[in-house]
Structure 1
Amino acid sequence: MNVKKTIALLLFCAALIGSKANAATVDTALTHSAAMNRDIKAVVVKPADYTASKKYPVLYLLHGFSGNYSDWIKKIPAITKLADTYHFIIVCPDGAFAGWYFDSPVNKDFMYETYVSTELVNYVDKHYSTIANRKGRAITGLSMGGHGAFFIAFKHQDTFGAAGSMSGVLDIRQFADSYGIEQLLGKYSESPEVWEKHCVLSLIYLIKPNALAITFDCGYDDVMYSGNQKMHEELLMRRIPHDYTVRPGGHSWEYWGNSITYQSLFFSRYFNGEK
């Protein structure tokens, strides 16, 4: 091998090593929920420039019905590039097959509001270099996770300063006999008041104008479209600022992979004080 080829090979190897060094790090964290008395996994994506000497904002990214903590990183691995581009940590918690991200009044094995809003946030702030206040935290998710993100953010505005939803199940009353919700809340016909307390559309009164940076979107062909339209109209009526987008598409990973790119920009602007 001549000198030129040797130098070229060394430069190529150096570039390859450098590219790997300048990539986001994906960890699987084992967290603990005292409320549910069990350990729960979460994916944590740290940006390429992560260092303990710097504080980073955190985006909590929730999965949908029948999914788990690994859904986002497996289905949309490009979220690592979003962490690099916008210099934030992404945390993907487990919300169970049908946990719905609220505290069930009938089954204490499902206390995912407490887990995400308190136990997981405390774990992340303790183990990673974070901006440990609402100005450094945002939460969003798809489908069941979209409802969960709004539900948690609306009720915990002291913890989260920004919230989003992608194809969110924003009116759970539409699905009283589906998706395992009645196992957590009881039958709608028997306890409508319980369902009202756990439905995002019924909790808009908790939001004060400009108190929470809000973004959400839904595909026009999505079965969740009507619930999202209702949310948009209610927010307009109450004069609560928000970003709402309707795009072509349905309830699919192709749609959510596109959606998260726009929402990441929204949250980055919030973290930078532009929202």
Structure 2
Amino acid sequence: MSKFNYFIAFLLVNCFSINLIVSQVDTIMVFSESMNKTIPNIVITPNNHTNQNKKFPVLYLLHGAGGDYAGWASYVPEVKAYADKFNMIIVCPDGGSTSWYFDSPIDSKMKYETYVSKELVSAIDKKYPTIPENKGRAITGLSMGGHGALYLAFKHQNVWGAAGSMSGGVDIRPFPNGWDISQRLGTYAENKQNWEDNTVMNMVHLLNGNLEIIIDCGYDDFFFEVNRRLHEKLVLRNIPHDYIERPGGHNYEYWANSLKYQLVFFDDFFRRK
């Protein structure tokens, strides 16, 4: 789909009021065997999800550092209506305050890669009428969650068929003292290989062109340069993707707007698949 078509689709989506929310919002608790604890998650289902003959695609929507599973629904309440507008299930996992969605090589209690990509996906597929294939799953997120979405999708392309990032920390190496990353991977000075192995920037080689990707970051964001470098690396490797850079900073005002564009992208993916 061309950028012009995305813009037209975006206008059409926003021509309709989203004030009437008829989707269902649940908080479900999922036990993680890998971490031996129960984790909360918000699940937003379209109003017709009880139709036994209907299966729905699922968008996994990740929060950022310092946030939790309730962040998207709290700061972008429109998300509660998007499940109906786009006829999809939206899952907001709790990824820990600063997990970075890694299976930490130095802390056995932090296995959020396993939790989101295996345990949570399995639980959602068992409880809800999903399309239990990668063609029926997408994942995106903001900031730490943008990194997490690409990280998980790059490593688990059998699970997700499309992935996005909004203001994502897509290269963690320039930020060795930020957001507790050193508590997940060890200090950069003493554990450089952990950082090299777990930054999205170094995972492009895992892509074969089948994963559909959208990346979005604002000019005034402290992650802007790493996002542009990831875009340039994907271009160099001939990896198809959509890339958007526009005015904006690292805040929910920007992410609320980004989500609208990304939902159109994912809806197009689900419809084609």
What's the TM-score once normalised by structure 2's chain length? 0.91
CA-CA distance at 1:80 after TM superposition:
1.7
Structure 2 contact 147–165 (Cα < 8 Å) conserved: yes
Q: Over residues 146-197 of structure 1, what are the superposed CA-to-partner deviations in whole Å (9 max), with x where a residue is unaligned?
A: 0000000000000000000000000101111111000010011111111111
CA-CA distance at 1:20 after TM superposition:
10
Give the aligned CA root-mean-square deviation in angstroms: 1.4
Report 1:183-198 matches (<5 A): 183-198=183-198
Report 1:139-158 matches (<5 A): 139-158=139-158
Structure 1 contact 47–80 (Cα < 8 Å) conserved: no
Q: Over residues 128-162 of structure 1, what are the superposed CA-to-partner deviations in whole Å (9 max), with x where a residue is unaligned?
A: 00000000000000000000000000000000000
Whole-Å Cα distance in 2 between the matches of residues 269 and 257 of structure 1?
19
Number of matched pairs: 255
Structure 1 segments unaligned to the other structure (5+ residues): 1-18
What's 1:9 paired with?
none
Which has the higher Rg, Structure 1 or Structure 2? 1
2:75 is the alignment partner of 1:88: no
Structure 2 segments unaligned to the other structure (5+ residues): 1-17
CA-CA distance at 1:66 after TM superposition:
0.3
User: For the structure 1 residues 27 and 175, does the alpha-carbon distance in structure 2 shift closer, same or farther, using more than 3 Å as the test?
Assistant: same
Structure 1 contact 22–49 (Cα < 8 Å) conserved: no
Whole-Å Cα distance in 2 between the matches of residues 113 and 20 of structure 1?
35
Whole-Å Cα distance in 2 between the matches of residues 87 and 51 of structure 1?
13
Whole-Å Cα distance in 2 between the matches of residues 254 and 20 of structure 1?
18
What's 1:103 paired with?
103
What's 2:243 paired with?
244
Equivalent AA in structure 1 for residue 152 of structure 2: I
User: For the structure 1 residues 29 and 202, does the alpha-carbon distance in structure 2 shift closer, same or farther, using more than 3 Å as the test?
Assistant: same
What's 1:124 paired with?
124
Equivalent AA in structure 2 for residue 213 of structure 1: E
- Share of identical aligned residues, percent? 50
What's 1:62 paired with?
62
Structure 1 contact 171–200 (Cα < 8 Å) conserved: yes
CA-CA distance at 1:49 after TM superposition:
2.1
Whole-Å Cα distance in 2 between the matches of residues 92 and 109 of structure 1?
21
Structure 2 contact 20–81 (Cα < 8 Å) conserved: no
Structure 2 contact 21–81 (Cα < 8 Å) conserved: no
